[in-house]
C-alpha cells in the first residue's frame, strides 16, 4: 500500500532536489569558469626566455608588464647545468607583437618598497618568434643606489683625507712652500730695510758728496754695485717663488677640480632619487614658436 504524502512541504521533493543540484552545479561551473578566466587559464600564451646568472628577486607568478599593463607572468625558473638560471616568461598571445629585436626585460619595483615586476621595453627590429631568449636587466634598487653612493662618498672622503694629509705633511711641498714664502717675505723686509738705510745714507752723505766729488763718485759706484746685488737677489727670489707656487698651485687646482667633479656626480645621483626628484622642477619642453605674422 502506497503511503500518500500529505505534507505540502514534501510534494515534488525529488524534483526540487534535482533542480537544486543542477543550479548548484551550474553555479560552481560558472564560478570555476570565471575564476579561471580571471587567472588567464583560458588565455592563449606564448613563452619567452631570459637567462640570468642570479635570479634573486624573481619568483614564479611574478607579473610581466608593458607600459604599466600586465601582459603575462613568470611561469617557471630552472637552474641550468652551467649554473645560470632560465626564467620562462609566459606572455599573452595578443601581446607577443611587442617582442621585437632589441626588446629587453627589466626587473623593477613600484616605488622603492613596492611590489617587484618585470617591465618589458619593446625593441624596434623584426618580430621575435616565441620560445626565444631576450635580454634581462635589473634596475638598481635603494640598496644598490645606497651601495653605489657609499662607494663614491668614501672615495671622495679618501681624496679629501689624502689632500689634508698632503697639506699637513711637515716635509711636504705645501709646508715647504709656505716656509719658502715666509723666507722670501723676511728677505724682502730685510732688502727694504737695506734700501731704506741706503737712502738714509745717501741723504746724510749728499752734502759731503757735493763737497767731495771724488768721494761722491766712489760712494755712488759702491751704491750702484750694492743696488745691483740687491736686484739680483730679488730676481733670484722671485724666480724661486714663481717656480714653487706654480708647481703647487697646479696640483692643488687639479685636486680641487677632481673633488668638485665627484661632488657633482653625487649631487646628480641624489637628484635622481625618489622623493627628491619629485621636488625638482622639471625642465619644460616647449613647442616651436609661432608668431602672429608668419604668413
Partner 1 sequence: MRNRKKLLFLFLLFLLLILQGCYRAPMEEPYRVKEIESLIKRAKVASEKGNFKMALSLYEEALKKSRIIQDDNSTVVILLSLSRIYTSLDKIDYAKKFLSSAEELSKKTYLPEGLSEEIIFEKARIGFLLNENSEALLHKLIYSESPYMRIKSLNLLARFKMREGANEEAEELLNKALSMNNEISKIEQANTLRLLGELNTKKNKNKALIYLLRALSIDKELALPEKIALDMEILARLYRDMEDKEKAKDYFLRAFEIWKCLEREENQIRIMRELEIL
* Cell (9 digits) for 19: 533542480
> Shortest distance, CB of residue 285 to partner 1, whole angstroms?
5
Give the footprint of partner 1 on residues 78-117 (CB under 8 A).
Answer: 108-111, 113-114
Strand segments, DSSP code E, in the chain are 45-52, 63-66, 69-79, 85-92, 104-109, 116-121, 135-138
> Shortest distance, CB of residue 120 to partner 1, whole angstroms?
11
CA count, 13 A, side-chain hemisphere, 116: 18
**Residue pair 213/153 in contact by the 8 Å Cβ criterion:** no
3-state secondary structure of 96: helix
Closer by beta carbon to partner 1, 83 or else 275: 275
Closer by beta carbon to partner 1, 42 or else 274: 274
Give the footprint of partner 1 on residues 276-295 (CB under 8 A).
Answer: 283-288, 290-295
**Cα separation of 193 and 190, whole Å?**
5
**Cα separation of 137 and 52, whole Å?**
9
**Cα separation of 73 and 60, whole Å?**
8
**Residue 7 binds partner 1, judged by CB under 8 A:** no
Instruction: Mark residues 114-153: x for contact with partner 1 by CB under 8 A, - for none.
Output: x------xx-------------------------------
Closer by beta carbon to partner 1, 105 or else 244: 105
Closer by beta carbon to partner 1, 48 or else 117: 117
Determine the number of helices (DSSP H) and then strands (DSSP E) in the chain: 5, 7
> Shortest distance, CB of residue 111 to partner 1, whole angstroms?
4
Residues whose CB is less than 8 angstroms from the CB of residue 208 and which lie 6 or more positions away in sequence, other chains included:
215, 216
Q: Total residues at the site for partner 1 (CB under 8 A)?
A: 24
- Phi/psi-derived region of residue 83, left when phi > 0, alpha when psi is between -120 and 50, beta in every other case: left
Give the footprint of partner 1 on residues 27-86 (CB under 8 A).
Answer: 67-68
Closer by beta carbon to partner 1, 67 or else 250: 67
Return residues touching partner 1 (CB under 8 A).
67-68, 108-111, 113-114, 121-122, 272, 274, 283-288, 290-295
Amino acid at each position: 500500500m502506497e503511503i500518500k504524502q500529505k505534507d505540502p512541504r514534501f510534494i515534488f521533493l525529488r524534483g526540487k532536489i534535482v533542480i537544486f543540484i543542477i543550479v548548484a552545479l551550474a553555479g560552481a561551473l560558472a564560478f570555476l569558469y570565471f575564476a579561471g578566466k580571471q587567472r588567464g587559464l583560458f588565455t592563449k600564451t606564448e613563452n619567452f626566455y631570459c637567462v640570468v646568472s642570479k635570479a634573486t628577486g624573481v619568483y614564479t607568478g611574478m607579473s610581466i608588464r608593458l607600459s604599466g599593463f600586465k601582459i603575462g607572468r613568470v611561469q617557471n625558473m630552472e637552474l641550468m647545468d652551467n649554473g645560470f638560471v632560465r626564467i620562462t616568461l609566459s606572455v599573452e598571445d595578443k601581446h607577443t607583437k611587442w617582442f621585437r629585436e632589441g626588446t629587453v626585460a627589466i626587473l623593477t619595483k613600484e616605488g622603492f618598497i613596492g611590489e617587484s615586476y618585470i617591465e618589458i621595453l619593446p625593441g624596434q627590429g623584426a618580430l621575435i618568434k616565441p620560445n626565444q631568449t631576450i635580454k634581462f636587466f635589473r634596475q638598481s634598487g635603494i640598496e644598490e643606489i645606497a651601495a653605489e653612493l657609499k662607494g663614491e662618498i668614501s672615495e671622495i672622503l679618501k681624496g679629501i683625507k689624502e689632500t689634508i694629509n698632503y697639506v699637513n705633511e711637515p716635509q711636504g711641498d705645501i709646508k715647504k712652500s709656505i716656509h719658502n714664502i715666509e723666507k722670501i717675505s723676511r728677505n724682502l723686509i730685510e732688502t727694504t730695510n737695506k734700501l731704506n738705510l741706503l737712502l738714509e745714507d745717501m741723504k746724510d752723505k749728499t752734502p759731503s758728496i757735493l763737497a767731495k766729488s771724488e768721494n761722491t763718485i766712489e760712494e755712488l759706484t759702491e751704491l750702484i754695485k750694492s743696488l745691483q746685488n740687491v736686484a739680483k737677489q730679488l730676481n733670484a727670489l722671485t724666480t724661486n717663488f714663481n717656480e714653487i707656487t706654480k708647481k703647487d698651485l697646479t696640483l692643488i687646482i687639479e685636486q680641487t677640480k677632481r673633488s668638485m667633479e665627484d661632488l657633482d656626480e653625487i649631487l646628480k645621483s641624489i637628484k635622481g632619487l625618489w622623493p627628491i626628484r619629485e621636488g625638482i622642477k622639471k625642465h619644460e619642453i616647449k613647442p616651436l614658436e609661432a608668431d602672429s605674422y608668419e604668413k
